[in-house]
Amino acid sequence: MNKKDIRWKQRFSNLEKAFHQLEQGLTIKDPSEIEEQGIIQSFEFSFELAWKTLKDYLESKGTLVSFPRDVIKEAFHHEIIDNGEVWLEMLEKRNFLAHTYDEKKTREALKLIRDTFFPEIKQVISFFAKEASK
């Protein structure tokens, strides 16, 4: 196993942990304000680790990319992610979500995370789980 394989697999391990926290947070039926902020932060961690794992994985396969937008486009091109548009939306919303203090916007953010972003990250985790077991 080369260093680049080890790197993406290590990052993937951290991604799985962050995603598990997000998954747990999303099971809370009526989260308190502090729990809502925790769920949003878990999403931010999960997304950050997801795109960085994608970057490391692509590099291990010989595709060099640096910026999140380029990583997402290459991951879509290589059919690692199914919905490039949603991933680009996650990238855009990530910064917005970090500064969401308005209750209505927080509720909208949580719905977007639960209904749209969570399934996309889950799909990429399934891909990496298969790759890691090879």
Mean pLDDT of the chain: 93
pLDDT band at 21, cuts 50/70/90? very high
Helix (H, G, I), strand (E, B) or coil at 72: helix
In angstroms, what CA-CA distances link 41 with 4, 18, 36, 85?
A: 28, 10, 9, 22
Q: What is the pLDDT of residue 98?
A: 67
* Mean pLDDT, residues 91-105: 77
95 against 63, higher pLDDT: 63
pLDDT > 70: what percent of the chain? 96
Q: What is the pLDDT of residues 114-133, one digit of tens each?
A: 999 999 999 999 999 999 99
Q: The pTM is what?
A: 0.93
Could you tell me the domains of the chain? 3-132 (1.20.120.330)
Q: What is the pLDDT of residues 24-35, one digit of tens each?
A: 999 999 999 899
Give Cβ neighbours of residue 112 (< 8 Å, ≥ 6 apart): 93
